């Protein structure tokens, strides 16, 4: 075997090698300053707290909540046979909502989940941030707490209202992100009611302090802690009424009446039924449009039963609410391919412009909530007064002489709620709560009436390896 | 002290040695082709063991200053075997004959960072594509030109739209969330292959309808499209991790080394190429013609309403003299046969101290639809200057202007502006093209559920919509080389190179107010401008040390160096709607603006040694690279990527086997996280009341992210024999990727949905083989045949999270899409299918129904040379590889497919044939088995609203006649008589690309994808721009 003679380095080379080594050592130690590159596109969570940051966080909560509303109204509208979404290139907006059982938990009918919980977390983070802000007065801190807790309650309300008997997790661990257990429907409503009540206390405690941020124009008249509290009490009444109709009974109806007394309910003659709190939209760069509006989504159509079921005014024209909210259009069919789809020739006029505001809570609903609470307490005379107030002023319909019994009262109430709060995200919840889901019409025999929206597949999968008590209800 | 100031100090320290000038003498010679005696132009003549060398001139002559005493010359030219000749001390001239290297055994392959080595001795597998192969048949872009030429790569074009847009993936899926594209290096400069969306989905409404700046369904162009194949000397693809390891944490997907042409000493040599040709539709979709009115009306009603269908049908029939008309809208809209042409001129020359290469070219490809096309201008100057006999400088400057008018295509939603998307819904009896006396296009009421503003007339759209992409690009580098030592034993060269790649991309999309669909949103008129600025900068300082001990048993090549790379990309977009008629200024409409900005820096250190021993029979190598990046969680930490390689050559192993080489290598590379993944940030919400909102980010960043790590183990052999008539190369590659970046799902009820983290393992295995045969080799006729084979399997071996659907790869279980699942193919297509249970029930399950990766692919290249004629063909065969055919799904849904009326396979079938049974709410229900059941209705009803996705997940096997060329090389005497005495050669060519495709696949092209460039290759055929075929006549003149 040959031996390799390695002893051949020239003198020059022996001089070079150490130089090369020295160069390498020098370069290895080179500075890393150019490796510190910030994120140009999103704000770091690690930054000093000041008033503008609080404004951004509060605006984020409002924008996130606004972002979920058109989807809620559209989905609940389809389930509640108020509306259709006839996107011709996406027949699943019809088939998966009305004709495919069980409901799709992976894309179309699983909404009102991630962003709502994210926003609940945003509310918790806002309180934590404000509490640590030395520049805020105690009153201002209380105001922030009251605002955040009210918004958090509202987000959770939409989640439990769409999931109903499945229940939902209400707690959020914003430190470890550990999954929290699902709680029953009544526990969820009780929890929501509880944070609304603490929010009310915090808003009261704010006294004359102002919010340390500006609320959008949709909150005009409700943008100080004390006026915002009227909005909070209205929401509390809604939650009490829901609980009353479900698992709680008269105690909750009574609580609802108390809360309504502190809300902005106004049933005096000539009261503005539209007064309330709204989500507002804008065409300004970066802002959002109302995606329920005719120009943005012309495929949002109305269910023909709205016309069939509308009662007549004395002069023979239909319910004034029908007249102002519904228009006739050229017949559109559900997209569907082989079978020619379900036709409709009615559309909405409710959200006529790109930026038409979307109501969150308004006087008309408060009056009807009072009627509903009174019906729950079997106080039919009081209920009748409110129902007739709405019937005659909003519907221009003849008053109902009397309410024969609880069933008749509920029927009457549901009619008024249907037309007064048409396509504002209520009907499906209302008929379900009062056990009248079967009154919803089926367009074709193979359709069905959805009871609850499913827990999303992503939630199911992420919990699939957890202990049984932490798994998602209804998960396949 | 800054990074490179320190480097300069290091360089100064290096200044330790000098060499004396040796006495010189001059020799001359001539290089010719063996057999024909034809002079060989531009052959390289180099004094072995030195940097001294030159090139032959137009007559094959050279002259060279060499040291006194006997010297060894190494003479080589691309396509010929290397020849070594000894010139004795008293010899003044030498004649060298070179043999054709048909098996390319003597080809040079590049190595990362350290020049080239002979393919014969290489211990890694590298695919090389030379200028000749690249330019034989012109392609729209380099990606297209490389299809079928790189073993181990899968190259897809996103669609057939002019201007390109494609993806190159080497040896399977290597990442889920990270980068999936190879690293492109042109003359040492790392170049951007970004694909930037132009905002076309503002009109098509695919995905988030123009609100997402990175919209992936925009039929994007990757910026490899800016390269000019005429300027390229060769392209080599470093596939093994061991080969690419010196590119460290950016090399996981392979490294594509592009080398442009350089000047060669001698008189200026000019090359002029003029091409002229035409494009035409390769394959449309055909259409269903209606035989009777009831079928016509029922089909039309599905896309509008009964009343509209009847009215339109009656009108169409009446206008056609009572017969039902039939229009093939795809053939009509994409039926243009536009001119394509290219002019290219380059010159190269120089003297011993200065060498230059300069080129300028312009290429235009007309699109097969009106108002589409692509124009590219390129200019390049490459300069080599000897400053002294020790110092050399190199300056390369390249400029590109690309202009593409791309039309609209791919996925859509209402208002159906993507043509094939709309045509699937429009009945064939409707004439959409004929304009009325006032010049207005017919109104189309089909596709939007009856509302005309909900749909479009694509003929009108293509006539008036502008979708332009303009790129101005500058790639340049400056290199200073210092030959520190040039002895026979030690040669040391130190090089510093700084490179810049900078481009702007401007997209302008304008849809005028009067278009049919513009009224839909109440804001007629849309204009979208996208402005992107990409800046890349890299610098490298490296030292090469070649050590050849006098004993001659072994030689060593060592390279060490340090690099820094910086890449910035800033994309801004303004969208305006509701314009004043005729105005295209975004100020005049309701605006939305978007911006995304990225910047990243990488720094690396590398060292590699290769030893060649025993007459170059044994090759051993080892290398290491340390990398740190601004994208890593720990920015200070160097991640280390080692590699080793070995090869042994047996010479004359057995009779008939001249060469037999075994090779094996092992190496690691990285794929660093993407920009942004390490940051924990607030998420952005829309503005509200003029204030921007922030909140919890649904995807939580991870301050601990680190590079994905790929480990390759490669084994292979090469054999050549039968008197240089046969060669075989084979390699087997076992790849594992660890520390894969995933999104860990968090139950959304926590308010956060996902967090990025490293974990899990992907595993890829590939077989690659190339066989070159020379069945006939005579003076008057040669036939060279090359066959390549590749097979890739990719599996998700370890998945630390539950199965998930990767983003932007498909449209749900109803249509089939990838679903990353432990233990199964990463590219498996999952979708719904009915499972028939023994108890008679039927359930629908989301399960594996296909795979996007082909069973195997083969590429056949044959070259026949008969006298002065050369015929070359390239045929590609792909077996398997499933495509999600959503185009057919739409065309079936609206009863437009060409084969709709063909007999259903279920005619006369019973429930025993499960292909004729579907799941209707858990109950087995027969499809239509009557004697009138049709194929189209069968497919759509079997698909059953997505309950059986198998119907539209289809086999994408094909045989494509990719390239054919016929060229004639004119005798020099004739050429000189015709064109003058200076002419050295003239070649006439007749070439064609994509001439024919043979397949059972229903669509136009199984190689398309709706979602452009992403790490997971999903083949989704969804209303793409149709593919075209091209013919060219060209003339090449050298003088």
- Residues in chain B within 8 Å Cβ distance of A28: 605, 626
Say yes or no for a CB contact (<8 Å) between B522 and A100.
Answer: no
pLDDT (tens digit per residue) in A194-231: 999 999 999 999 999 999 999 999 999 999 999 999 99
Tell whether B24 is within 8 A of chain A (Cβ): no
Q: What is d(CA A272, CA A279) in angstroms, rounded to the nearest whole number?
A: 18
Q: What is d(CA B487, CA B505) in angstroms, rounded to the nearest whole number?
A: 49
Q: Nearest-CA residue of chain B relative to A57?
A: B694
Q: What is d(CA B169, CA B185) in angstroms, rounded to the nearest whole number?
A: 16
pLDDT (tens digit per residue) in B435-453: 999 999 999 999 877 778 8
Question: How near does any CA of chain B get to the CA of A384, in Å?
Answer: 40
Asked if pLDDT for residue B842 goes beyond 50, the answer is yes
- Residues in chain B within 8 Å Cβ distance of A296: 521-522
Q: What is d(CA A70, CA A73) in angstroms, rounded to the nearest whole number?
A: 5
Instruction: Give the SS3 label for residue B137.
Output: coil
Asked if pLDDT for residue B10 goes beyond 50, the answer is no
Model confidence at B17, pLDDT cuts 50, 70, 90, reads very low
Residue A425 and residue A77 in contact, taking contact as beta carbons nearer than 8 Å: yes
Tell whether B591 is within 8 A of chain A (Cβ): yes
pLDDT at residue B77, rounded to an integer: 83
pLDDT at residue B112, rounded to an integer: 66
pLDDT (tens digit per residue) in B987-996: 999 999 999 9
Question: How near does any CA of chain A get to the CA of B793, in Å?
Answer: 27
Angle CA B47–B49–B55, to nearest 5:
30
DSSP, residue by residue, B879-891: E--EEEEHHHHHH
- Residues in chain B within 8 Å Cβ distance of A34: 3, 564, 566, 601, 603, 630
Range B523-547 burial, b when 16+ CB lie within 10 A, else e? bbbbbbbbbbebbbbbbbbbbbbbb
Chain B, 547 to 586: residues with Cβ < 8 Å from chain A are 547, 549-551, 553-554, 560, 562, 564, 566
Q: What is d(CA B133, CA B233) in angstroms, rounded to the nearest whole number?
A: 10
Q: How would you classify the pairing of strands B923-926 and B917-920?
A: antiparallel
Q: What are the tokens at B58?
A: 């137009």
Say yes or no for a CB contact (<8 Å) between B7 and A24.
Answer: no
pLDDT at residue A27, rounded to an integer: 55
Q: Nearest-CA residue of chain A relative to B491?
A: A13
Q: A380-393 vs A406-420: helix axis angle to the nearest 10? A: 30
Say yes or no for a CB contact (<8 Å) between A62 and B688.
Answer: yes
Residue B416 and residue B452 in contact, taking contact as beta carbons nearer than 8 Å: no
pLDDT (tens digit per residue) in B788-805: 999 999 999 999 988 888
Say yes or no for a CB contact (<8 Å) between B16 and A299.
Answer: no
Of B303, B454, B553, the CB nearest to A4: B553
- Which residue did the predictor score with more confidence, B16 or B770? B770
Length of chain B: 1039
Say yes or no for a CB contact (<8 Å) between A286 and B687.
Answer: yes
Share of chain B above pLDDT 70, in %: 97
Sheet holding B882-885, edge to edge: B953-955, B882-885, B1020-1021
Per-residue CA distances from B263 to B52, B269, B1025 (Å): 15, 9, 40
Structure-derived torsion over alpha carbons of residues B957, B963, B966, B972, reported in degrees to the nearest 10 = -150
Residues 6+ apart with CB under 8 A from B148: B155, B788, B859, B861, B874, B876, B962
Asked if pLDDT for residue A324 goes beyond 50, the answer is yes
- Residues in chain B within 8 Å Cβ distance of A12: 16-17, 485, 487, 490
Say yes or no for a CB contact (<8 Å) between A340 and B687.
Answer: no
Q: Nearest-CA residue of chain B relative to A172?
A: B750
Asked if pLDDT for residue B681 goes beyond 80, the answer is yes
pLDDT (tens digit per residue) in B881-929: 999 999 999 999 999 999 999 999 999 999 899 999 998 878 899 999 9
The complex's ipTM works out to 0.87
Of the ranges A138-142, B158-162, B634-638, the best mean pLDDT one: A138-142
Of A56, A91, A333, the CB nearest to B305: A333
pLDDT at residue B23, rounded to an integer: 60
Residue A57 and residue B44 in contact, taking contact as beta carbons nearer than 8 Å: no
DSSP, residue by residue, B537-555: EEEEEEEEEEE--TT-SEE
Asked if pLDDT for residue B115 goes beyond 80, the answer is no
B279: number of CA atoms within 13 Å, CB side?
Answer: 26
Say yes or no for a CB contact (<8 Å) between B490 and A41.
Answer: no
Length of chain A: 476
CA B972: distance to chain centroid?
Answer: 38
Q: Which of B426, B424, B431, B423 is nearest to B326 (CA)?
A: B431
Asked if pLDDT for residue A139 goes beyond 50, the answer is yes
Asked if pLDDT for residue A333 goes beyond 90, the answer is no
* End-to-end alpha carbon distance in chain B: 52
- Residues in chain B within 8 Å Cβ distance of A337: 302, 893-894, 940
Which pTM was predicted?
A: 0.88
Model confidence at B516, pLDDT cuts 50, 70, 90, reads very high
Tell whether B489 is within 8 A of chain A (Cβ): yes
Model confidence at B727, pLDDT cuts 50, 70, 90, reads very high
Chain B, 908 to 937: residues with Cβ < 8 Å from chain A are 921, 937
- Residues in chain B within 8 Å Cβ distance of A69: none
Q: Where are the beta strands (DSSP E) in B206-353?
A: 232-238, 255-260, 266-281, 339-350
Question: How near does any CA of chain B get to the CA of A266, in Å?
Answer: 28
Residue B479 and residue B384 in contact, taking contact as beta carbons nearer than 8 Å: no
Say yes or no for a CB contact (<8 Å) between B695 and A61.
Answer: yes
Of A295, A296, A458, the CB nearest to B745: A458
Sheet holding A326-333, edge to edge: A83-85, A300-302, A343-348, A326-333
Residue B676 and residue B599 in contact, taking contact as beta carbons nearer than 8 Å: no
pLDDT (tens digit per residue) in A20-65: 665 655 555 556 788 889 999 888 888 889 999 999 999 999 999 9
Model confidence at A7, pLDDT cuts 50, 70, 90, reads very low
Of B13, B596, B698, the CB nearest to A41: B596
Q: Nearest-CA residue of chain A relative to B522?
A: A295
Share of chain A above pLDDT 90, in %: 72
pLDDT (tens digit per residue) in B710-725: 999 999 999 998 888 8
Q: What is d(CA B141, CA B163) in angstroms, rounded to the nearest whole number?
A: 7
Q: What is d(CA B404, CA B913) in angstroms, rounded to the nearest whole number?
A: 51
| DSSP code for A354 | T
Average pLDDT, chain A: 91
Q: Which of B437, B452, B444 is nearest to B312 (CA)?
A: B444
The most distant pair of C-alpha atoms in chain B lies apart, rounded to whole Å, by 100
- Which residue did the predictor score with more confidence, B64 or B214? B64
pLDDT at residue A14, rounded to an integer: 60
Residue B180 and residue B253 in contact, taking contact as beta carbons nearer than 8 Å: yes
Residues 6+ apart with CB under 8 A from A422: A82, A306, A321, A325, A326, A350
pLDDT (tens digit per residue) in A440-476: 999 988 889 999 999 998 898 888 888 888 888 888 7
Asked if pLDDT for residue A340 goes beyond 70, the answer is no
Q: Nearest-CA residue of chain A relative to B944?
A: A338
Question: How near does any CA of chain A get to the CA of B163, in Å?
Answer: 28
Q: Nearest-CA residue of chain B relative to A342?
A: B305
Tell whether B492 is within 8 A of chain A (Cβ): yes
Tell whether B323 is within 8 A of chain A (Cβ): no
- Residues in chain B within 8 Å Cβ distance of A178: 750
pLDDT at residue B946, rounded to an integer: 87
- Residues in chain B within 8 Å Cβ distance of A298: 451, 453-454, 520
pLDDT at residue B11, rounded to an integer: 44
Q: Which of A3, A9, A22, A23 to mutate to test the interface with B (most CBs of B within 10 A)?
A: A23
Q: How many residue pairs bridge chain A and chain B with CB atoms within 8 Å of each other?
A: 342
Question: How near does any CA of chain A get to the CA of B798, in Å?
Answer: 16
Structure-derived torsion over alpha carbons of residues B720, B721, B726, B729, reported in degrees to the nearest 10 = -20
For the segment B964-974, the average pLDDT, to the nearest whole number, is 92
For the segment B16-43, the average pLDDT, to the nearest whole number, is 71
């Amino acid at each position: 075997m040959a031996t390799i003679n390695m002893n051949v380095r020239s003198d020059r080379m022996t001089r070079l090698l150490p130089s090369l080594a020295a160069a390498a050592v020098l370069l290895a130690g080179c500075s890393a300053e150019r490796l510190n590159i910030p994120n140009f596109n999103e704000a770091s969570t690690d930054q000093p707290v000041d008033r503008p940051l609080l404004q951004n966080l509060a605006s984020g909560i409002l924008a996130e909540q606004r972002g979920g509303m058109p989807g809620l109204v559209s989905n609940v509208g389809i389930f509640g046979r108020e509306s259709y979404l006839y996107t011709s290139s996406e027949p699943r907006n019809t088939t998966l909502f009305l004709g495919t059982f069980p409901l799709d938990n992976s894309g179309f009918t699983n909404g009102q989940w991630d962003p709502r919980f994210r926003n609940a977390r945003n509310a918790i983070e806002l309180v934590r941030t404000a509490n640590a802000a030395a520049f805020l007065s105690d009153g201002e801190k209380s105001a922030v707490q009251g605002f955040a807790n009210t918004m958090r309650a509202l987000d959770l309300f939409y989640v439990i209202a769409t999931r109903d008997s499945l229940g939902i997790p209400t707690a959020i661990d914003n430190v470890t992100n550990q999954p929290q257990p699902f709680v029953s429907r009544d526990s969820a409503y009780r929890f929501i009611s509880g944070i609304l009540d603490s929010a009310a206390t915090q808003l009261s405690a704010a006294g004359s302090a102002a919010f340390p941020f500006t609320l959008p124009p949709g909150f005009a008249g409700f943008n100080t802690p004390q006026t915002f509290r009227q909005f909070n009490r209205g929401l509390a009444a809604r939650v009490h009424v829901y609980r009353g109709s479900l698992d709680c009974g008269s105690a909750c109806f009574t609580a609802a009446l108390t809360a309504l007394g502190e809300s902005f309910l106004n049933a005096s003659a000539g009261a503005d039924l539209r007064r309330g709190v709204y989500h507002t939209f804008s065409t300004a760069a970066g802002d959002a449009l109302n995606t329920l509006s005719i120009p943005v989504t012309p495929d949002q159509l109305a269910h023909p039963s709205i016309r069939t079921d509308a009662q007549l005014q004395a002069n023979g024209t239909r319910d004034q609410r029908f007249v102002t909210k519904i228009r006739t259009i050229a017949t559109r069919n559900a997209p569907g391919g082989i079978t020619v789809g379900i036709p409709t020739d009615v559309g909405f006029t409710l959200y006529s412009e790109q930026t038409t505001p979307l109501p969150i809570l308004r006087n008309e609903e408060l009056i009807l909530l009072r009627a509903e609470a009174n019906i729950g307490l079997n106080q039919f005379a009081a209920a009748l007064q409110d129902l007739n107030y709405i019937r005659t002023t909003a519907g221009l319909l003849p008053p109902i002489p009397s309410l024969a019994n609880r069933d008749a009262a509920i029927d009457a109430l549901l009619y008024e709620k249907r037309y007064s709060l048409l396509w504002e995200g209520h009907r499906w919840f209302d008929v379900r709560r009062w056990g009248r889901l079967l009154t919803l019409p089926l367009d074709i025999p193979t359709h069905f009436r959805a009871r609850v929206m499913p827990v999303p597949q992503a939630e199911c999968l992420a919990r699939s390896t957890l202990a049984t008590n932490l798994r998602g209800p209804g998960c396949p | 002290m800054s990074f490179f100031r320190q480097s300069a100090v290091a360089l100064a320290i290096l200044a330790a040695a000098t060499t004396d000038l040796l006495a010189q003498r001059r020799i001359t010679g001539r290089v010719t082709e063996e057999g024909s005696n034809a002079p060989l132009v531009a052959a390289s003549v180099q004094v072995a063991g030195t940097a001294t060398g030159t090139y032959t001139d137009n007559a094959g002559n050279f002259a060279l200053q060499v040291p006194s005493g006997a010297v060894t010359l190494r003479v080589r030219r691309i396509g010929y075997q290397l020849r070594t000749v000894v010139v004795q001390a008293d010899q003044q001239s030498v004649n060298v004959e070179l043999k054709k290297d048909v098996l390319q055994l003597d080809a040079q392959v590049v190595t990362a960072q350290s020049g080239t080595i002979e393919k014969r001795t290489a211990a890694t597998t590298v695919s090389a594509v030379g200028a000749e192969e690249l330019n034989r048949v012109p392609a729209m872009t380099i990606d297209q030109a490389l299809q079928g030429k790189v073993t181990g790569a899968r190259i897809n074009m996103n669609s057939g739209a002019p201007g390109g847009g494609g993806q190159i993936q080497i040896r399977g899926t290597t990442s889920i969330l990270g980068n999936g594209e190879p690293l492109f290096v042109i003359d040492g400069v790392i170049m951007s292959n970004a694909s930037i969306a132009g905002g076309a989905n503002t009109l098509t409404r695919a995905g988030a309808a123009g609100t997402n700046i990175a919209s992936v369904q925009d039929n994007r162009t990757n910026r490899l499209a800016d390269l000019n194949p005429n300027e390229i000397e060769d392209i080599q693809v470093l596939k093994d991790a061991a080969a690419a390891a010196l590119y460290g944490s950016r090399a996981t997907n392979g490294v594509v080394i592009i080398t442009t042409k350089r000047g060669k000493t001698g008189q200026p040599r000019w090359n002029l190429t003029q091409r002229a040709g035409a494009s035409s539709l390769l394959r449309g979709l055909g259409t269903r013609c209606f035989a009777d009115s009831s079928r016509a009306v029922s089909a039309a009603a599905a896309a509008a309403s009964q009343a509209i269908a009847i009215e339109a049908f009656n009108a169409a029939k009446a206008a056609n003299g009572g017969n039902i008309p039939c229009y093939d809208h795809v053939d009509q809209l994409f039926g243009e046969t536009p001119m394509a042409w290219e002019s290219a001129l380059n010159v190269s020359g120089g003297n011993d101290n200065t060498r230059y290469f300069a080129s300028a070219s312009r290429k235009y490809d007309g699109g097969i639809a009106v108002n589409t096309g692509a124009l590219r201008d390129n200019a390049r100057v490459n300069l080599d200057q000897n400053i002294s006999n020790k110092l050399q400088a190199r300056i390369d400057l390249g400029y590109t202007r690309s202009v593409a008018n791309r039309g609209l295509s791919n996925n859509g939603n209402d208002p159906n502006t993507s043509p094939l998307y709309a045509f699937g819904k429009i009945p064939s009896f409707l004439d959409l093209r004929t304009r009325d006396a006032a010049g207005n296009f017919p109104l189309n009421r089909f596709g939007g559920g009856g509302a005309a503003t909900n749909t479009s007339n694509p003929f009108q759209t293509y006539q008036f919509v502008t979708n332009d992409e303009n790129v101005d690009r500058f790639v340049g580098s400056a290199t200073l080389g210092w030959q520190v030592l040039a002895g026979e034993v030690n040669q040391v060269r130190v090089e510093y190179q700084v490179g810049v790649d900078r481009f702007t991309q401007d997209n302008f999309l304008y849809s005028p107010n009067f278009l049919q669909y513009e009224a839909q949103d109440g804001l007629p008129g849309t204009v979208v401008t996208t402005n992107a600025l990409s800046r890349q900068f890299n610098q490298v300082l490296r030292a090469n040390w070649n050590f050849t001990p006098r004993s001659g048993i072994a030689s060593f090549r060592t390279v060490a160096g340090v690099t820094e790379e910086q890449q910035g990309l800033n994309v801004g977009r303004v969208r305006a709607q509701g314009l004043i008629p005729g105005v295209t200024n975004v100020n005049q409409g309701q605006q939305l603006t978007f911006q995304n900005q990225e910047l990243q820096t990488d720094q690396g250190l590398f060292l590699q040694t290769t030893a060649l021993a025993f007459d170059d029979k044994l090759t051993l190598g080892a290398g290491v690279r340390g990398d740190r990046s601004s994208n890593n969680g720990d920015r200070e930490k160097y991640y280390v990527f080692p590699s080793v390689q070995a090869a042994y050559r047996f010479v004359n192993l057995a009779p008939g086997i001249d060469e037999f080489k075994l090779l094996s290598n092992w190496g690691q590379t990285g794929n660093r996280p993407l920009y942004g993944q390490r940051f924990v940030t607030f998420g952005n919400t829309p503005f509200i009341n003029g204030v921007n909102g922030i909140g919890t980010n649904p995807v939580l960043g991870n301050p601990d992210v680190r590079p994905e790590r790929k480990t390759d183990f490669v084994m292979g052999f090469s054999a050549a024999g039968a008197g240089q008539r046969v060669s075989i190369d084979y390699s087997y590659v076992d790849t594992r990727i660890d520390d894969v970046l995933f999104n860990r799902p968090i139950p959304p009820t926590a308010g956060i949905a996902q967090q990025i983290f490293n974990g899990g393992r992907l595993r890829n295995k590939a077989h690659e083989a190339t066989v070159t045969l020379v069945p006939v080799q005579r003076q008057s006729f040669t036939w060279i045949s090359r066959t390549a084979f590749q097979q890739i399997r990719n599996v998700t071996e370890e998945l630390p999270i539950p199965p998930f659907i990767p983003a932007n790869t498909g449209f749900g279980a109803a249509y089939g899409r990838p679903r990353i699942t432990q233990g199964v193919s990463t590219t498996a297509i999952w979708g719904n299918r009915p499972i028939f249970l023994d108890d008679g029930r039927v359930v629908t399950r989301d399960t594996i129904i296909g795979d996007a990766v082909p069973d195997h692919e083969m590429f056949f290249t044959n070259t026949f040379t008969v006298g002065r004629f050369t015929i070359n063909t390239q045929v590609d065969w792909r077996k398997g590889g499933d495509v999600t055919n959503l185009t057919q799904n739409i065309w079936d849904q609206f009863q437009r497919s060409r084969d709709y009326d063909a007999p259903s396979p279920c005619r006369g079938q019973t429930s025993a044939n499960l292909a004729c049974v579907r799941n209707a709410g858990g109950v087995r229900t027969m499809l239509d088995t009557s004697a009138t059941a049709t194929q189209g209705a069968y497919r759509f009803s079997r698909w059953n609203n997505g309950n059986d996705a198998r119907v539209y997940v289809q086999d994408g096997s094909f045989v494509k006649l990719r390239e054919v060329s016929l060229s004639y090389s004119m005798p020099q005497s004739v050429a000189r008589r015709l064109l003058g005495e200076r002419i050295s050669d003239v070649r006439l060519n007749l070439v064609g690309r994509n001439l024919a495709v043979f397949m059972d696949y229903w669509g136009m092209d199984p190689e398309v994808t709706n979602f452009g460039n992403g790490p997971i290759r999903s083949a989704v055929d969804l209303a793409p721009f149709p593919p075209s075929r091209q013919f060219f006549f060209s003339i090449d003149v050298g003088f």
